[in-house]
């Protein structure tokens, strides 16, 4: 296991210490959140954790959680979650984050908005002085008329790229939509950009998570840190 992978696992496993029996959890998508999933399953098998249910943020997470023996539920059955552990692509000093590198940002945001306490787990490379410095902002768009959304995003100052699968076909989200990766560079007005994206017909979701994160567990060369909002 490489150094960055060790940091990912350290951060995720530390966050799992917040999980208590009886909780309903949001199960995040991505390589770092996966370590939390593995730890939860380990604790369940060992009898050190019990009576929990998880709401997966993607079909892939649902499949893996089921294979690991983690009981699942839905937001329809439990519209309020106790805790969500998820990853991020970039984190600013105010704990605003960019998510969606795995294409699950719409479901992840729905789950985040439904949770009492949202925790992000990450390695230190994800920390940034300003969102957009390191990561693109993923934007989920309806396939119908998607090129009009590309032009609109370019008008906002982004360099835009349609996300594709290895065979060159458009990447599809769990909802069957396209993802446009938008490279803005350091973003001056996060709220303004989020508002513009939210008002546009055909844009169904985006990776700016503003004011949704309560705490970040981040591991790196200086060890493990917990950052609060």
What is the per-residue pLDDT across 8-65, written as a single tens digit (0 to 9) for each? Answer: 999 999 999 999 999 999 999 999 999 999 999 999 999 999 999 999 999 999 999 9
Write out the two tokens for 197: 């994206």
Model confidence over 59-108: pLDDT tens digits? Answer: 999 999 999 999 999 999 999 999 999 999 999 999 999 999 999 999 99
Give the mean model confidence (pLDDT) for residues 157-168.
Answer: 98
Q: What is the pLDDT of residue 229?
A: 80
Q: Which of 64, 90, 108, 118 is catalytic?
A: 108
Do the Cβ atoms of 210 and 194 come closer than 8 Å? Answer: yes
Do the Cβ atoms of 52 and 24 come closer than 8 Å? Answer: yes
- List, in order of start, the domains of the chain with CATH numbers: 3-125+210-220 (3.40.50.1360), 137-207 (3.30.70.260)
Q: Provide the whole-model pTM.
A: 0.95
User: Cα 136 to chain center, whole Å?
Assistant: 14
Q: What is the mean pLDDT of the chain?
A: 98
**13 belongs to the catalytic site:** no
Q: In the chain, how many H helices and how many E strands?
A: 6, 13
Residue 218, pLDDT above cutoff 80: yes
Number of Cβ within 10 Å of residue 53's Cβ equals 18
């Amino acid at each position: 296991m490489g150094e960055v992978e060790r940091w990912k696992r350290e951060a995720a496993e530390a966050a799992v210490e917040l999980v208590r029996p009886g909780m309903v959890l949001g199960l995040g998508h991505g390589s770092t959140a996966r370590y939390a999933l593995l730890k939860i399953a380990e604790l369940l098998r060992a009898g050190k954790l019990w009576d929990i249910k998880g709401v997966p943020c993607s079909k892939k997470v649902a499949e893996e959680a089921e294979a690991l023996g983690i009981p699942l539920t839905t937001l329809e059955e439990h519209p309020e979650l106790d805790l969500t552990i998820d990853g991020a692509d970039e984190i600013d000093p105010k704990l605003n984050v960019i998510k969606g590198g795995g294409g699950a940002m719409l479901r992840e945001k729905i789950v985040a908005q439904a949770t009492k306490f949202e925790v992000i787990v990450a390695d230190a490379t994800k920390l940034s002085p300003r969102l957009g410095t390191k990561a693109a902002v993923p934007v989920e768009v309806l396939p119908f008329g998607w090129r009009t959304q590309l032009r609109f995003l370019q008008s906002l100052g982004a360099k835009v790229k349609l996300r594709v699968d290895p065979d060159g076909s458009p990447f599809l989200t769990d909802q069957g939509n396209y993802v446009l990766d938008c490279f803005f560079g350091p973003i001056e007005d996060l709220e303004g950009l989020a508002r513009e994206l939210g008002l546009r017909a055909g844009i169904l979701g985006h990776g700016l998570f503003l004011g949704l994160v309560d705490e970040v567990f981040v591991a790196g060369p200086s060890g493990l840190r917990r950052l609060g909002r």
